[in-house]
Structure 1
Amino acid sequence: MTLILYSYIADLLFGDPQWFPHPVRGIARLVSFLEQRLIGRRLERLSGMLLVTVVVGVSIGCTYLFLRAAGAFGVFWRNAAWVFSSYTTLAVNDLLRHGRAVFLALEQKDIAGAREKLGLIVGRDTRNLTSAQVVAAAVETIAENTSDGIVAPLFYLFIGGPVLAMAYKAVNTLDSMIGHRDERYRCFGRFAARLDDVMNFIPARISGILISLAAFMLKKDAANAMRIMRRDAAKHPSPNSGVPEAAMAGALNIQLGGTRRYDGQVYAHPFFGDGGKDARPRIIMQAMKISFLSSVLMVLTGVLWQWIF
């Protein structure tokens, strides 16, 4: 229990420095290396399954061996390795830092800078977004990454330690890189996308509840968060992403979703929420507060669960 708290605090303090050899960047490089050698083959779906199996297997194996090797030097080094491995699966600091960067650019009326900073954390085209659209996109990614980057890794840390959490990060990285529905990845990335759906199913729903609870504690509209989550979550093409996004839209009384562009192509997207408030920059900060409090609640819930059972 204490080690997870240390891991969480380490993420808050240090985040993900670009100069540091982060395991998730190593996973991404491995995915790219294998993709170049496997995609385009005759049995694309099987090739995609092979890639997923190798990447997840290597991630599990390296984490396990790292922990075992550190443990050979004593309890202190074993615990230090446990904390380090766990900390690298979390993204609280990064999410808040990127969200704040977008907010500050908008506050300074630097719409071009806000679009550029938003482009670092979303996959859609940001070049022509209005200020309100930048705010909505930032809130969407804060909501989704509250689940993918915070709650889900913590969930797997609590039930399986760093090995299972790193397996989750491998699957999530695979989904972000090859789990697309376009012509290139429709077959090749299908297994990665489906496995990510399975592994995020429970954490996404926990995230929706935590966002609603955090909204209540911050005197936002918790009842509306639950209502919009029940009403709109299933509209999302993903079985999971709609849950935290709809909950956040309801909590803040704004409308998320709508048309967006990817690689110059326009895609229709469902709306979440009723849009009672204008999407002003301060909404980003409110979403960040809800996200951060949700992460604290997840840590406390997990610690309490382990203490009881």
Structure 2
Amino acid sequence: MYLTCAVLLGFVLDWVLGDPNSALHPVCLIGRLITRCERVLRRVFPKTPRGETVAGVLLWLVVCGVSFAAPLFLLRWLRGVHFWLGFGAETLLCWLIFARKSLADAGRHVYTALDASLDEGRKAVAMYVGRDTGALDREGVIKAAVETIAENTTDGVVAPLAYMLLGGAPLGLLYKAVNTLDSMVGYHSDQYEYLGKFSARMDDIFNFIPARLAAVCLIAGTGMLGMDNRNALRIFRRDRNHHKSPNAGQTEAACAGALHIRLGGDASYFGKTVKKAAFGDPDKEISRSDILRAADLMTAASALALTLGAAVRLTTGWPPFG
């Protein structure tokens, strides 16, 4: 009951207040830890495929170990001082781990910017995606925003929720470290091809079940919002495994089917064109409103995942701790 209440309150705080823009945010601290550890490891290990691969494994172990152990011991100490002090800190951390509101706000930001001009839309979406955005047309900007919302339904809400319900804020922060490592070093580039390989693989493992849960919740949310959940399920079953990532295609396929649009396709990263699979059918022309509809789907899926996870904990008592 302790963890369930902390996670529920954290979800509500994120829903109302969103992510505070602070240099002391846990994800910002994790990002700085990654940067500093990377600098040290690059100096210590040789610049060879083997050397950088070993450095990448150590980078992952250090960052994830610190991200899990620091909040674990802090929360234990605070609970030892007073129960409500520990509970308040756990709730605060759960709030900071969720990213539902910031993801929805990002979608609205791109939606509003694109109404002003294509250039403004490109600048807005560049803040949230890793691809090159300078040459995107209007449809490309919309697709990039929708794909980001769909994929981050897993990374920003459902996966953190699942791990926090399993092991509280420490396990949630461990997941955020895994995800942040993948975002910062898990690239197929000259700089990170070997250093980031282990981080990318671990992110695939940690997201394997949450990505599929997020897709199922998106499909169910499609029906709740009066959209075509049958088509969402059909496209999900047909296209979900087309992506090079074992997880990203799950939610992108479900979202494409729900919106009756085609997502994916080739994209440019660091000046190089990357071949990517397409998801869905071009049943209708992509419009700016699809960004808001994708955000609504993400919100519905988030609420469903929270309800399902809390119900499992409260009715079955599993997992048998927290």
TM over 0.5: yes
Determine the structure 1 residue equivalent to 2:320.
Answer: none
Q: What do the CA deviations read for 1:142-197 (whole angstroms, capped 9, x no partner)?
A: 00000111000001011111111111100000011111122222221111111110
Task: Choose which of 25, 29, 40 in structure 2 pairs with 1:26.
Answer: 29
Aligned residue among 5, 15, 35 for 2:8: 5
Q: What 5-or-longer segments of structure 2 have no aligned partner? A: 317-322
Corresponding residue of 2:81: 73
The answer to whether residue 201 in structure 2 is matched with residue 198 in structure 1 is: no
Q: CA deviation at 1:19?
A: 2.9
Q: Does the aligned pair in 2 maintain the 1:71–1:77 contact within 8 Å?
A: yes
Measured on the aligned residues, the alpha-carbon RMSD in Å equals 1.2
Most deviating of 244-253 and 5-14: 5-14
Alpha-carbon displacement from aligned partner over 1:249-274 (angstroms, at most 9, x marks no partner): 01100000112111221222111001
Alignment-mate amino acid for residue 264 of structure 1: G
The alignment status of 1:233 with 2:240, answered yes or no, reads yes
Following TM superposition, by how much is the alpha carbon of 1:73 offset from its aligned partner in structure 2, in angstroms?
2.8
Residue 154 of structure 1 corresponds to 161
Correspondence for 2:62: 54
Q: Does residue 1:243 correspond to 2:253, yes or no?
A: no
Report runs of 4+ in structure 1 exceeding 4 Å deviation: none
1:287 aligned residue:
294
Q: Deviations over 1:57-77 (max 9, x none)?
A: 100111112212321331111
For 2:198 and 2:270, the matched residues in 1 are separated by 23
Q: Matched residue of 1:261: which SS?
A: strand
- How far is the alpha carbon of 1:39 from its aligned partner? 3.0
Question: In structure 1, what residue type is equivalent to 2:58?
Answer: L
Counterpart residue type for residue 69 of structure 1: W
The CA deviation at 1:134 is 0.8
TM-score with structure 1 setting the length: 0.97
Code of the residue aligned with 1:293 in structure 2: it is A
**Equivalents in 1 of 2:68, 2:263: separation in Å?**
36
Taking the TM superposition and a 5 Å limit, the aligned residue runs for 1:1-309 are: 1-19=4-22, 21-39=24-42, 41-42=45-46, 43-106=51-114, 108-309=115-316
TM-score normalised according to structure 2 size = 0.93
CA offsets 1:203-252 (integer angstroms, 9 cap, x no match): 00001100000001111111111111121111111000000001100110
Specify the SS of the correspondent of 2:273.
strand
Amino acid at match of 2:291: I
Structure 1: unaligned runs, 5 residues or longer? none
- Contact kept in structure 2, 1:233 and 1:242, CA below 8 Å: yes
CA distance in 1, matches of 2:210, 2:160: 9
In structure 1, distance between residues paired with 2:17 and 2:42:
36
For residue 14 of structure 1, report the CA deviation from its aligned partner.
2.2
Task: Report the residue type matching 1:77 in the other structure.
Answer: L
| Cα distance in 2 for residues equivalent to 1:175 and 1:20 | 20
User: Which amino acid is 1:272 matched to?
Assistant: F
1:13, CA displacement in angstroms?
A: 2.2
> How big is the shift at 1:88?
1.4
Work out the CA distance in 1 between the residues paired with 2:116 and 2:59: 44
Q: Is the 8 A contact 1:214 1:290 kept in 2?
A: yes
Paired residues of 1:39 and 1:188 also in contact (CA < 8 A)? no
Report the residue type matching 1:141 in the other structure: T
Q: Which amino acid in structure 1 is aligned with residue 25 of structure 2? A: H
For 1:156 and 1:19, how far apart are their aligned partners in 2?
Answer: 24
Mapped to 1, the partners of 2:276 and 2:116 lie a distance apart of: 27
Contact kept, 8 Å, 2:23 with 2:29, in 1: the verdict is no
The letter of the residue matching 1:255 is R
Q: Which amino acid aligns with 1:283?
A: D
Secondary structure of the 1:128 match is: coil
Q: Distance in 2 between matches of 1:23 and 1:270?
A: 34
Distance 2:117 2:13 in 1: 32
